[in-house]
Structure 1
Amino acid sequence: MRGRDRVRFRGGPRSLGRVVRAAGQETTFPREKPLTLRGHSVAWVPPLVLLVGIVVIDLTTGVFGIVAWTVLVPGIAAALSGLRTTAVFAVLSLVVYILVTSVWWHWNETEVAGFVLVLVGGLLATVACAVRLRGVRRMLHMRDIADTTGRVVLRPLPPGWGGLEHSAVYLSADVEARVGGDFYDIQPGPHGTRVLLGDVQGKGLGAVEAAAALLGTFREAAYHDQGLGEVAGRLEKRMLRHRAHTAALGRADGDRFATALLLGFPVGDAGAVEVVVFGHDPPLVLRPGAVRTPVVVGGLPLGYAALGSGLPPVCRVELAPDETLLLVTDGVTEARDPAGEFYPYVDELTRAVESDPHLQGPDRLVAFVLDGVLRHTEGRLTDDTTIFAVRRRRR
């Protein structure tokens, strides 16, 4: 996953049917090829085998005539092949029917009814194939639109962006969703590099809209504002403005909030990182042989600062050059197995780094947590899951 910002995989268990982004490789959706062998389509084989089998049985047994079953051949082709292949099998089935009935005195038995059945079946199969392919093209177009939306919300992050080594994986709890309420980004600027990871309350398009609003504000504020506290204040105001807008529209998500972690890597201070916690679990710090949770003072989620004592403070956390920060959303911290037991990812990480001193690398660390979550939940995720690891780039 090194040097890439997202990758998607589908298929397999239920979990693998979800969206996965792991650090700018884009998955494209090629034209539908349900059956392939070494890169070549073999979708024409099943209808051809069926057609040959019908002819052989009809000509060799002589017990009963099944030549009219050739009407099934273009239907099978319509489900597996393209429009041209389906049309070819429709014509071929009709020709085979005429030849077989001429050779093996079935014509008096089947008469014109069988001929009309095969003819109409071939025409309907061809029309059905055209409708299916039109639906496939529409689906691929909608996926392209969803992918574009995903790139706007979770943009690709170049390798070493902002002087940081990073790796991230995002899994949507919705099988068909391309993006959800989890969000993350890295923004370098004249005052240092800032990192944001968060989770918008709720699901659906409303959560995606809120995540996009917060990311847009973060990308501007993280670049222009000098202090990390100012960036935190801008995010809080943006959440309030977004809620006011949705409430004015009469939507039911007017009280939406977001938990978030805001990190700052100051210029000229390579031994520390600044942390602001908005109702989120603090990051883990991993170094060879040990895992620690830094002591930070958190606050309420974004949008609720007025209910407490204001914005959470900016905490300074010592960070050695070989230490990595691990940030996760509640898809990891609240992941449960079928028996209802939470995933003990901190304990597993502790044991793993003690036995493998190289595990704290962002790529291997994200892959380890991802594998643990999928294994513990048996692929049944109930919430969007983001795993994000980052550390200063080694020179």
Structure 2
Amino acid sequence: MRAVSDGGASPVGGARPPQLLRVRGRSVTWLPPLLLLVGIVLVDFRTSSDFRILSWIVLVPGIAAAICGVWGTAVYAVLAPATYIAADAVLPHEYQAGLPDLVLAGIGGVLATLACVVRVRGEQRMLHMQDVAETIRRTVLRPLPPGWGGLDHAAVYLSADSEARVGGDFYDIQTGLHGTRVILGDVQGKGLGAVEAAAALLGTFREAAYHEADLTAVALRLEVRMQRHIRMRTALGREEGDRFATAVLLGFPEERPGTMDAVVLGHDAPLVVGPDGVRPLPPEHGLPLGYGELVPADGPPPVLRVPLAPGETLLLTTDGVTEARDDDGTFYPLTTDVDAAVTADPAIARPARLVAFVRERTLRHCGGHLADDTTVFAVRRRVGVGTEVGEREWGD
């Protein structure tokens, strides 16, 4: 499982090989093979003819091939048979091992060097793939500046695959002409198909959220984009036509600083977390993106207008949180757990602490074995921005 925090990843193209056996910042990978070489010679000199281990020198280049670079391994490939010749020569004639073991040490050095070349090339390919994955991750889950759009925010992405960096989960904050908009979504399925759909939806969100005055219009633009993406993928033979995505859209209008608008599209409703406790949004939401043809004739999904008191945080999660199971198959009780935590310590309602709490409790509940990619995202208006309580259009 891999965790990617908001803005906490290394720069694209900055991947480096694993740095093993370092002392004060300097590599000492050359030391274990050297110690093995010296140890073999010393032990051989102190044992009788019934226990000859000088031929074990063939192991030295093999150890070097596992941890050293190509040139380091090549040095040991030469040093090992040279040491063998020197050590064997100083022994009495009756103890000398002779030519066969020397040939074995030489062949072992050549094979170890070739094996090191293969290992290093494999590591280079792996690093290239990590750079590509990091580029994709920063396209889908771009870093967000602190206080972006007048919102305090925190996020963490947990991949169910320990080798993956990104999946179908996505989130973003977009400033615009009509206030700040927030999205969190989850594309059905896994693999590159889910990543492509997430990237397509995010591109549309960033444009629509900037220009559109109505949050419903943003949702409709996302639905059209999802339908277009599905048709294209189906025409290319890469999609079965049943791809969909759930999403939550939030709007923070500048003219109504004490309220927030929300459109929930087949996703779990966000939680409003504050010092006084937790309350979920009502279960009124539209269909997931991609199911636009099933929308009834009475129009698009409703917009919920939610009053926000000072210090209240919006907690958004993907189903990796709510569907996390323990050994008994019990789902993680997100609402109950967060409510109890906030009651005990109201400061947990802060976005950074709230995200850290949900992350830790989710992993503890499932024993670190996530069945699905998981995103925890929390946002709230910054102190001094929109602290007036808005119209009570939605009850406590």
How far the C-alpha of 1:106 sits from its partner, in A, is 5.7
How far the C-alpha of 1:303 sits from its partner, in A, is 1.3
Mapped partners of 2:252, 2:150: distance in 1: 9
Number of the residue aligned with 2:127 = 140
Number of the residue aligned with 1:42 = 28
How far the C-alpha of 1:138 sits from its partner, in A, is 1.6
More divergent stretch after superposition (28-37 vs 142-151): 28-37
In structure 2, relative to structure 1, the CA distance for the partners of 1:95 and 1:197 (3 Å cut) is same
Question: TM-score scaled by structure 1?
Answer: 0.92
More divergent stretch after superposition (121-130 vs 22-31): 22-31
Mapped partners of 1:302, 1:77: distance in 2: 54
2:346 aligns with one of 347, 354, 357? 357
1:368 aligns with one of 357, 364, 368? 357
Mapped partners of 1:246, 1:133: distance in 2: 37
In structure 2, relative to structure 1, the CA distance for the partners of 1:112 and 1:392 (3 Å cut) is same
Gap regions ≥5 residues in structure 1: 1-14
Number of the residue aligned with 1:191 = 178
SS across alignment from 1:195: strand
Question: TM-score scaled by structure 2?
Answer: 0.92
Mapped partners of 2:141, 2:228: distance in 1: 21
1:164 aligns with one of 140, 151, 160? 151
Identity %: 60
Matches for 1:305-320 after TM superposition, within 5 Å: 305-309=292-296, 310-320=299-309
Is the contact made by 1:78 and 1:128 (CA closer than 8 Å) also made in structure 2? yes
- The one-letter amino acid of 2:346's match is P
Is 1:255 matched with 2:245?
A: no
2:6 aligns with one of 23, 26, 31? 23
Matches for 1:41-190 after TM superposition, within 5 Å: 41-62=27-48, 63-105=50-92, 110-190=97-177
Matches for 1:258-269 after TM superposition, within 5 Å: 258-269=245-256
How far the C-alpha of 1:144 sits from its partner, in A, is 0.6
Instruction: Describe the superposition over 1:143-190 as per-residue Cα deviations: whole angstroms up to 9, x where unpaired.
Output: 111111111111111111111110000111122111100000110001
Is 1:274 matched with 2:261?
A: yes
SS across alignment from 2:349: coil
Matches for 1:283-322 after TM superposition, within 5 Å: 283-295=270-282, 297-309=284-296, 310-322=299-311
SS across alignment from 1:25: coil
Instruction: Describe the superposition over 1:273-332 as per-residue Cα deviations: whole angstroms up to 9, x where unpaired.
Output: 000010111110011131111225211111113213242111101111210000000000
How far the C-alpha of 1:108 sits from its partner, in A, is 7.5
Gap regions ≥5 residues in structure 2: 385-396
Mapped partners of 1:251, 1:149: distance in 2: 19
Mapped partners of 2:270, 2:51: distance in 1: 74
How far the C-alpha of 1:230 sits from its partner, in A, is 0.7
Number of the residue aligned with 2:394 = none
1:328 aligns with one of 317, 338, 348? 317
- The one-letter amino acid of 1:41's match is S
Is the contact made by 1:289 and 1:356 (CA closer than 8 Å) also made in structure 2? no
Matches for 1:185-264 after TM superposition, within 5 Å: 185-264=172-251
How far the C-alpha of 1:77 sits from its partner, in A, is 0.7
Mapped partners of 2:176, 2:46: distance in 1: 80
1:32 aligns with one of 15, 18, 24? 18
- How many residue pairs are counted as aligned between the two chains? 378
Is the contact made by 1:305 and 1:311 (CA closer than 8 Å) also made in structure 2? no
